[in-house]
Amino acid sequence: MPGGPIFVTTAGESALTSYNIDGTYITELAQSTSGMIIAIEHRFYGQSSPMPDLSGASLQYLTIDNVLEDFASIIRAIKANTANSTTTLPFLVNASSPIIFAGGSYAGSVAAWMRAKYPELVIGAWASSATLYGRLENYQFDQAFGRHLKAVGCAQCFAQAIADLDTILNSDDANKIGAVQTKLGIPLLGSSDLSNLLTVFATIGAMQPVTLVSDPVYSTVCSFFNQTTTSQIGYSTCLNSYIAMINELISESQLTPEMLIALGNSSLAIDYTALNQPQRVWYYQMCSWFGMWQVAPPPKAVSGLTSYRSQLLDLDYFQSNCPKKFGSQSKSPVDVGAYNEEWFDILKNTTNVYYTSGSLDVWRDSTVATSTGNLFEPVGDSLIIVIDGATHVQDLTASSELDLPSVKEARLLGYELVNKWIRNSGNNNAQHAHKYKHKHKYSC
């Protein structure tokens, strides 16, 4: 519809697919408001690279300023593509069409930043599970996973299995280590790489939506701890259950042993500098921007916290790769304090942002709505909500008859808020937004 809203989105740290256009609740928002949806690929992901490779020299142009200016430049071009223009985009828009930026997880951060930095272009942002608050050692991810395990009944045994496995991996007994790796189905990896890969498999379900009839953390994890499993001689009941769980997850993944080794080798996985290596690009962002290293918490005797991942996964395991893989420009450790001061604090006075987070989201403590309370209070027509029983970015998944009532309510609140922004967009909305005083630092 001419003059209708334009919903801009991005896949964030992955390549764009048709899902970003027709597979999410953003699609439904565009349809219900007689609007248009436009997906823009993030620099250095998919086919969108300003440089010929992913070397450290090339990735120096991967900055937040540059990323946001990419999106702003494209939005300006879109807004200029009216019936009277001479541009060659395959669609026309009304120059007065309001722009709403929407995204989830890191893409949700981009959405919020776009509203903060370019209020004259973006009238509002839907920032679902937006991982905005940088943490050098993000053991809060581990603790959020533990809360979900508690909710479905296997936290204690899962944690015991991790402790039992650590005892073996920290021993000097090569035979015991080799034997348990064989039982797990992942041989030929160092103990730390093995532990990290196991955590990736174990937390797969935590990123999937909970519905009225299913909880993926129960089906992929706790169901194995709440049933009798085949005993492996010399292992505890909990470790036996953990082994059975990992065996099933690997089987479902259909990954070969060679693929598992390549995936688990933390050094090899980010070595390649050819384009289309999303894991390398994301690692660079963690090294250079906000940390977010998913480490184990401090020992329970010190912190009082139960660990749901190996103690081998410490800060050095992750950040030691930064200067080795990206050169001297990648400082270790990254200055998370400076990042938060520049890119988190600007949001505190930004209007027209809808921040959502699931109560079971493993990334919740990196969002505005942490498990201990909001990191700031919303201003203007902004809103911060926690969706009871929901996981990561669940409100932006496509609607289903099996959706939790809390998810439906979050979408309705968002729909009403977006329509309010649209109604108010003719009132020179930009002048009411946060006065962005940040010096532009984009290049390339």
Q: What is the CATH number of domain 6-133+336-432?
A: 3.40.50.1820
Q: What integer pLDDT is reported at residue 172 of this predicted model?
A: 87
Query: Per-residue pLDDT for 427 more than 80?
Result: no
Band (pLDDT 50/70/90 cuts) for residue 440 is: very low
Bridge pairing between strands 369-370 and 373-374 = antiparallel
Rounded Cα distance between 60 and 431, Å, is: 33
Q: What integer pLDDT is reported at residue 1 of this predicted model?
A: 57
Rounded Cα distance between 38 and 103, Å, is: 12
Q: What integer pLDDT is reported at residue 295 of this predicted model?
A: 98
Within 13 A of 377's CA, how many CA atoms are on the CB side? Answer: 1
Rounded Cα distance between 45 and 110, Å, is: 14
- CB distance 27 to 37 below 8 Å: yes
Rounded Cα distance between 204 and 282, Å, is: 18
pLDDT by residue (tens digit) across 199-245? 999 999 999 999 999 999 999 999 999 876 566 667 999 999 999 99
Rounded Cα distance between 347 and 328, Å, is: 31
Query: Per-residue pLDDT for 436 more than 60?
Result: no
pLDDT by residue (tens digit) across 283-322? 999 999 999 999 999 999 999 999 999 999 999 999 999 9
pLDDT by residue (tens digit) across 383-403? 999 999 999 999 999 999 999
- CB distance 346 to 116 below 8 Å: yes
DSSP 128-188: ET---S-EEE-HHHHHHHHHHHHHHT-HHHHHHHHHHHHHHHTSS-HHHHHHHHHHHT--S
Rounded Cα distance between 276 and 286, Å, is: 18
Query: Per-residue pLDDT for 52 more than 90?
Result: yes
- CB distance 392 to 361 below 8 Å: yes
- Comparing CA positions, the residue from 435, 437, 444 lying closest to residue 342 is 437
The amino acid present at 60, given as its one-letter code, is Q
Q: What integer pLDDT is reported at residue 426 of this predicted model?
A: 78
Please give the share of the chain, as a percent, with pLDDT higher than 90.
84
- Rounded to 10 deg, the angle between the 139-152 and 155-169 helix axes is 130
What are the CB-based long-range contacts (under 8 Å, 24+) for 302-307? 305/139, 305/143, 306/146, 306/155, 306/159, 307/142, 307/159, 307/162, 307/163
Where in 279-368 does DSSP place strands (E)? 291-293, 353-358
Query: Per-residue pLDDT for 428 more than 60?
Result: no
pLDDT by residue (tens digit) across 248-259? 999 999 999 889
Rounded Cα distance between 135 and 81, Å, is: 41
- CB distance 154 to 222 below 8 Å: yes
CA distances from 421 to 2, 254, 430 (A): 18, 46, 11
Cα Rg, the chain, nearest whole Å: 23
pLDDT by residue (tens digit) across 341-394? 999 999 999 999 999 999 999 999 999 999 999 999 999 999 999 999 999 999
So where are the chain's domains?
Answer: 6-133+336-432, 135-326
Tokens for 386, please give them: 């926690």
Q: What is the mean pLDDT of residues 86-105?
A: 85
Q: What integer pLDDT is reported at residue 227 of this predicted model?
A: 78
Where in 90-138 does DSSP place strands (E)? 99-104, 124-128, 135-137
- CB distance 308 to 159 below 8 Å: yes
Torsion of CA 24, 30, 31, 32, to 10 degrees: 110
- CB distance 134 to 292 below 8 Å: yes
CA distances from 49 to 52, 63, 74, 95, 139 (A): 7, 13, 15, 28, 32
Q: What integer pLDDT is reported at residue 153 of this predicted model?
A: 96
